[in-house]
Structure 1
Amino acid sequence: MTSSAAPAAGEARQAVFDLAAIGAELPAASLMPRLHDVLTQTTRRPPFAVVQAPPGSGKTTVVPPAVANAVTGRVIVTEPRRLAARSAAERLADLSRTRIGDAVGYAVRGEHHIGPQTQVEFVTTGLLLRRLTADPELAGVDAVVLDEVHERDLDADLLFAMLREVALLRGDLALIVMSATLDAQRWSSLLGDAAPVLTAEVPLHPLTVEWRPAPVGTQRLDARGVTPGFLRHVATVVAAKSREQAEGTVLAFLPGRREVDAVVARLRDSGVTALPLHGSLPASAQRAALAPLGTHERRVIVSTSIAETSLTVPGVHTVVDAGLAREPRLDAMREMSGLVTVPVSSAAATQRAGRAARLGPGTVVRCYSEAEFASAPAQARPAITTADLTEAALMLTLWGDPDAQELALPDTPPRASLELAQRTLVRLGAIAPESGRTMRWRVTDLGRLIARMPVHPRLARALIDGAALINGDRRSAVTLAAEAVAAIESDARAPGGDLPALLHELRRGGHRGGHRSRRAGSTEGSHSQADAAVSPAAAHRWQQDVRRLVALMPDHSSTSRSGVSHSSVDADGVIAAIAGLAYPERLARLRSSDSGPSNSGPSDSGLSYQLASGTGAVLPRGSALRGSQWLAVSEVSVARTGEGSGAMIRAAAPLTVDAALVVGAGLIEDTVESEWRDGRLSARRVRRLGAIELSRAPARLAAADARAQVRSLLATADGLASLHWSQAASDLRDRLHMLHRELGDPWPAVDDAALSGRLDDWLAPEIERLAAGTATAGLDLASALRRLLPWPDASRLDALVPERLEVPSGSWVRVHYPSDDDAPPVLAVKLQECFGWQQVPYLVDGRVPVQLHLLSPAGRPLAVTMDLASFWQDGYRQVRAEMRGRYPKHPWPEDPTTAKATRGVKRTPRR
């Protein structure tokens, strides 16, 4: 096939792809006639369609050229990953017998192989999303094919909704959505107007399922990630299955590249030919994993989830599934986000298993139990519902729909996550309120610059500000800042969380021996102190990213945010400054109780930090950063740790306290805090960087400030409780509470909320005394409360709720009034003093009966009653039988209703 220049708009294009040759032996080739009809019919404009075909059917190979033959302009095909975009383009170019960059090309981060004759262009979803927000018309593009939409990538969801809107406005842009799962009808509904669903049936061969859970006592996951024991178990299963088959590929699924590299290293140590497959590999290593097998050749491919649907691994007859996946998670409370390891969904597990039965009878070995499979979620959660939405919120605002109310998104972003993202963008200066519109956002000029940069908005802003802080000429400063940003954003892992060490390796160009895996047994997070060395390919990508960022930076520095100090930063401190500017809430200080010497041995001292956000976090054991007083943290993940802090530091750089004050200037706050100390008002002037206390010193308050501080303390939840309440004051408050409960107005409410709201009505003189230094013990709160008594009703206080009641013996006994709403007043009195009483007394004008607590001569409870007549008739007999022998000197008459009440013992008659 030879390529030709694209025809003019509206001109019919000569078929440039030999579809018969490309689709030979591919089940998805059956879709081509129907797809051509959809694209060429004039009754449906714009042309929409959903293509459903299982993994391995060839839809990614045959649909793009079929679309290209039916339209006049360029066809763009999106893939969720760089590896998938590159691989799909190379395969189509090979089948078309043309070079990459001619009829078929691709563009991913750091690579651009597109020419003027390119008809089919494979790109990542993120790249097309940025292109679309810059050029919403997509001039020169006649069709977009969204591949693997079922993966629910965040960029893909946004892209789907925006492209649908563009297609409806243009009327001539074809939009083809491709899915490997059975949710095609949902995508058809989202496209609208009953978009046709084209399905390629691919019958599976018989599939045998084997269950090989790890040995008893071996967990798949613990607080630090995938356990080394489980990885050993997976490697053992993979090695055994590889030796069982004479030829072909054993495809093993692990959740991330670190687990992949660990299992590959263990397999190679045991003599098994094993290749890794993940997005961080050099292109040559990726191509090696996807190359066809030779006759009677056998091998093992250990892959991340990228091989579930996006790629076709040749010769697979056996799949070994660890049953784990990585998913994005946002902790909105702590403003932390990242990838977490979770059990794979049953849909993804089915996709993985299906890879084994495409060519013939196959086997899937699940390294977990049937019960775990049954309890797995049906589908993975869409990233738009779980991920950090800062970049998405910027794209939505650029699109003119900041609250995502008009776009046909497959799922609505959570309100709290979107509002958090918008607050972050406001702090970055990327968006601002639209004039005359409440809660409507617009993108600022700075925000447009940030949106052009292929990094997180926080890092884009840090690049702009960091370049202004660095010593030296403008170009050198921008380059240093770009190097730091590209290192933080790169796929390469900081060893032990050490960002300066990572930057050093990237500048060196990576290790000299090609890609090197960590030793067997190492795994995610702090299960291992070592990390994979930086590969030359990773270093090359980093260099490309640096050049691209430098090219995007304006020549002037007027965009630097005014809130950042212009203190200079030297070259050694650049990456810490960039990390601190991007994530000031993650500035961290070593906990004072954990500040042992950094060479104190294998203990965990020197690892525990407090972040400016208030969260505690720990470094991995063995980190070279251990013991650093201050860290600028660029990556922190939610985790359970030995310290129970809830976060693990994955990437950070040490910095001085002066540098922390510069990059964290926006979080520094000076406040005066007050407390009751030894019963008196005590004030301290406190300086904090976020939640990190920098200094504390005694403060002398002016009279007005002292009064304000007293009021502030009294307004807290336990403010009134901190006062010294005497027994008389507490009793009066309880009596008033009873009156308000029973009679309401004009008797005042005296609960904490009511009293705090009326401080000037009852406590004003005492507030002046407290502000002048009087101790709380010196206040007469009973007199203060009497200021709330209503007049003239106050004269009846003692009649309605008396402090004491006279009992038949002549004693005056204190009444205990309840502080809660349901309890009755209580009179605790010795039983003998109540002889002759026929009923309990009533208070509040006869509304409230008193509950009697009848006591023994020793003051111990004998009975509780509010029905004295019933007690005398029934309960008293049992009490009398039990007590008369224990207390013989006290009267226990047979008829207590007629006996004389007494406070003492029985009189002994004189002889």
Structure 2
Amino acid sequence: MDFVIIISGETGCGKTTQLPQYVLEFEIESGRGAFCDIICTQPRRISAMTVSERVSTERGENLGESVGYKVRLEGMKGKNTHLLFCTSGILLRRLLGDRNLNGVTHVFVDEIHERGMNEDFLLIVLKDLLQRRRDLRLILMSATMNAELFSNFFKEAPTIHIPGFTYPVKTQFLEDILEITGYKLTSFNQIDDYGQDKLWKTQRQQVPRKRKNQITTLVEDALKNSNFEKYSSKCRDSLACWSPDCIGFNLIEAVLCHICRKERPGAVLVFMTGWDDISCLRDQLRAHPLLGDPNRVLILTCHGSMATSEQKLIFEKAPPNVRKIVLATNMAEASITINDIVFVVDCGKAKETSYDALNNTPCLLPSWISQASARQDAVPWSFER
């Protein structure tokens, strides 16, 4: 399809903020600016809002002039808005009432690797729409994706890769963290405390699983076959009793204590699986004598269920001599950049939608993230130093 192009690029290369502007400027210079109507979808509300603010600032305009945004129950656009950032759900809602997207000239679908239900269904609808709207241009973008897969879906659509520059990122794995911090894993301190309200969730971790999932088995086999001779006996003992099924609240707490006491200044981003983990870890950290001291540490949370005003707090700088710690889900890896992040602690898991055949219902369960997602968790913050 000549009217579809697929763009993959390193995180921070400017796909989200620059490419829509290039298209808008080209249309203006070609004398078609008044008829240009660009929609750029984002997987999450906070992404749509922060990107629109960034683009309008770059253009020296107020938000709502030529650049606007629209999310559920909230939006800012005007009669002269020609570039609109919105969530995938908002575009699908528009397609319900306007199946031909009349007046729209370009559609950017960003972060298509997310592969949610809305995103996949949107691609199906847009592919069908392109048969009726030959003048519509579709641009698919992502930092981590199988470009060939999407190219085949759109009948050998051309692909472009954009390189990017990042500062060096030093990656420390579990064995390195155990060696550096001196933390000793036992069968008891790996149990995550979810409080009295969810005592069942805490107790469930102590019950051995009748059947291990495939990834847990692979992890355990990899540990057995790995050579950790360069690490101390204490570290090797910890790895021998490590439980892949737990998140590791206590270990994360120990890592954050080490960062606050011995590492250079800078904010910390901690990736967790969901609100239960975020809220319980936050309560545990606030009870710690160091991490719970508001004069030394500022603890913030970021989750899709939070109000927009609360989500935006993560972008504000902490007071002098106070270290900011942000507890977030993987929503923080897509299209947003927190400028003062220096350290990233990744639990290596995220909640994914799966199907429960026994109960005939979809459910959200923690799953190990891919290597591509792990790289994207780390890379965005290497642009801001």
TM-score band by shorter chain is 0.7 to 0.9
Residues in 2 aligned to 1:313 and 1:58: alpha-carbon distance in whole angstroms: 16
Q: 1:333 to 1:357 in 2, by over 3 A?
A: same
Conservation of the 8 A alpha-carbon contact between 1:248 and 1:296? no
| 2:102 match | 139
1:255 and 2:255 matched: no
Conservation of the 8 A alpha-carbon contact between 1:246 and 1:298? no
Residues in 2 aligned to 1:205 and 1:134: alpha-carbon distance in whole angstroms: 48
Residues in 2 aligned to 1:67 and 1:257: alpha-carbon distance in whole angstroms: 38
| 1:75 match | 38
Alignment of 1:783-798 (within 5 A): none
Q: Amino acid of the residue matched to residue 259 of structure 1?
A: D
1:224 and 2:201 matched: yes
Q: Which has the larger radius of gyration?
A: 1
Conservation of the 8 A alpha-carbon contact between 2:106 and 2:138? yes
Conservation of the 8 A alpha-carbon contact between 1:252 and 1:302? yes
Q: 1:246 to 1:114 in 2, by over 3 A?
A: same
1:345 and 2:315 matched: no
| 1:205 match | 168
Conservation of the 8 A alpha-carbon contact between 1:103 and 1:117? yes
Q: 1:220 to 1:143 in 2, by over 3 A?
A: farther
Give CA-to-partner distance per residue, 1:300-335, whole Å, 9 cap, x none.
Answer: 111110112332121222111112211112223422
Alignment of 1:624-635 (within 5 A): none
Q: 1:332 to 1:354 in 2, by over 3 A?
A: same
| 2:11 match | 55
Please state how far the C-alpha of 1:292 moved relative to its aligned partner: 5.2
1:125 and 2:143 matched: no
Residues in 1 aligned to 2:147 and 2:75: alpha-carbon distance in whole angstroms: 32
Conservation of the 8 A alpha-carbon contact between 2:144 and 2:373? no
Give CA-to-partner distance per residue, 1:104-141, whole Å, 9 cap, x none.
Answer: 11111111222211111111111211211321210111
Conservation of the 8 A alpha-carbon contact between 2:6 and 2:157? no
Please state how far the C-alpha of 1:351 moved relative to its aligned partner: 1.9
Conservation of the 8 A alpha-carbon contact between 1:251 and 1:318? yes
Structure 1, unpaired ranges of 5+: 1-43, 361-911
Q: 1:334 to 1:61 in 2, by over 3 A?
A: same
| 1:192 match | 155
Residues in 2 aligned to 1:62 and 1:175: alpha-carbon distance in whole angstroms: 16
Q: Amino acid of the residue matched to residue 339 of structure 2?
A: P
Alignment of 1:419-458 (within 5 A): none
| 1:98 match | 61
Counterpart pick for 1:159 among 122, 126, 130? 122
SS of the equivalent of 1:207 reads coil
| 1:395 match | none
Q: Amino acid of the residue matched to residue 277 of structure 2?
A: E
Residues in 1 aligned to 2:384 and 2:51: alpha-carbon distance in whole angstroms: 20
Q: 1:109 to 1:69 in 2, by over 3 A?
A: same
* Bigger relative CO (Cα 8 Å, ≥ 6 apart): 2
1:304 and 2:329 matched: yes
Residues in 2 aligned to 1:242 and 1:109: alpha-carbon distance in whole angstroms: 38
Please state how far the C-alpha of 1:149 moved relative to its aligned partner: 0.3
Alignment of 1:450-849 (within 5 A): none
Conservation of the 8 A alpha-carbon contact between 1:274 and 1:301? yes
Q: 1:84 to 1:278 in 2, by over 3 A?
A: same
Please state how far the C-alpha of 1:266 moved relative to its aligned partner: 3.1
Conservation of the 8 A alpha-carbon contact between 1:293 and 1:314? no
Give CA-to-partner distance per residue, 1:460-519, whole Å, 9 cap, x none.
Answer: xxxxxxxxxxxxxxxxxxxxxxxxxxxxxxxxxxxxxxxxxxxxxxxxxxxxxxxxxxxx
Q: Amino acid of the residue matched to residue 345 of structure 1?
A: S
SS of the equivalent of 2:378 reads helix
Q: Amino acid of the residue matched to residue 341 of structure 1?
A: P
Please state how far the C-alpha of 1:296 moved relative to its aligned partner: 6.9
Conservation of the 8 A alpha-carbon contact between 2:12 and 2:164? no
Residues in 2 aligned to 1:150 and 1:229: alpha-carbon distance in whole angstroms: 24
Conservation of the 8 A alpha-carbon contact between 1:78 and 1:124? yes
Q: 1:229 to 1:256 in 2, by over 3 A?
A: closer
Residues in 2 aligned to 1:220 and 1:89: alpha-carbon distance in whole angstroms: 42
SS of the equivalent of 2:304 reads coil
Counterpart pick for 1:173 among 108, 111, 136? 136
Residues in 1 aligned to 2:247 and 2:356: alpha-carbon distance in whole angstroms: 29
Please state how far the C-alpha of 1:343 moved relative to its aligned partner: 2.5
Give CA-to-partner distance per residue, 1:829-876, whole Å, 9 cap, x none.
Answer: xxxxxxxxxxxxxxxxxxxxxxxxxxxxxxxxxxxxxxxxxxxxxxxx
Conservation of the 8 A alpha-carbon contact between 2:66 and 2:83? yes
Residues in 1 aligned to 2:36 and 2:359: alpha-carbon distance in whole angstroms: 47
| 2:285 match | 267
Q: 1:261 to 1:221 in 2, by over 3 A?
A: closer
Q: Amino acid of the residue matched to residue 252 of structure 2?
A: V
Please state how far the C-alpha of 1:159 moved relative to its aligned partner: 0.8
Residues in 2 aligned to 1:229 and 1:174: alpha-carbon distance in whole angstroms: 43
Conservation of the 8 A alpha-carbon contact between 1:55 and 1:308? no
Please state how far the C-alpha of 1:293 moved relative to its aligned partner: 6.4
1:319 and 2:296 matched: no
Conservation of the 8 A alpha-carbon contact between 2:192 and 2:247? no
Q: Amino acid of the residue matched to residue 125 of structure 2?
A: M
TM-score (norm 2): 0.74
Q: Amino acid of the residue matched to residue 215 of structure 1?
A: L
Counterpart pick for 1:245 among 263, 271, 288? 263
Q: 1:87 to 1:178 in 2, by over 3 A?
A: same
| 1:108 match | 71
Q: 1:276 to 1:206 in 2, by over 3 A?
A: closer
Counterpart pick for 2:313 among 282, 288, 306? 288
Q: Amino acid of the residue matched to residue 188 of structure 1?
A: S
Give CA-to-partner distance per residue, 1:124-170, whole Å, 9 cap, x none.
Answer: 11121121132121011100110100111111111112212222321
| 2:215 match | none
Structure 2, unpaired ranges of 5+: 28-34, 179-183, 194-199, 206-245
SS of the equivalent of 2:373 reads helix
Aligned CA RMSD, in angstroms, stands at: 2.7
SS of the equivalent of 1:139 reads coil
SS of the equivalent of 2:11 reads coil
Conservation of the 8 A alpha-carbon contact between 1:246 and 1:296? no
1:235 and 2:274 matched: no
Residues in 1 aligned to 2:105 and 2:260: alpha-carbon distance in whole angstroms: 47
Residues in 2 aligned to 1:153 and 1:229: alpha-carbon distance in whole angstroms: 24
1:335 and 2:312 matched: no
Q: Amino acid of the residue matched to residue 154 of structure 1?
A: M
Conservation of the 8 A alpha-carbon contact between 1:293 and 1:315? no
Residues in 2 aligned to 1:229 and 1:299: alpha-carbon distance in whole angstroms: 21
Give CA-to-partner distance per residue, 1:619-677, whole Å, 9 cap, x none.
Answer: xxxxxxxxxxxxxxxxxxxxxxxxxxxxxxxxxxxxxxxxxxxxxxxxxxxxxxxxxxx
Conservation of the 8 A alpha-carbon contact between 2:46 and 2:311? yes
SS of the equivalent of 2:172 reads strand
Conservation of the 8 A alpha-carbon contact between 1:60 and 1:147? yes
Q: 1:52 to 1:204 in 2, by over 3 A?
A: farther
Residues in 1 aligned to 2:56 and 2:299: alpha-carbon distance in whole angstroms: 28
SS of the equivalent of 2:264 reads coil
1:358 and 2:373 matched: no
SS of the equivalent of 1:302 reads strand
Identity %, equivalent residues: 30
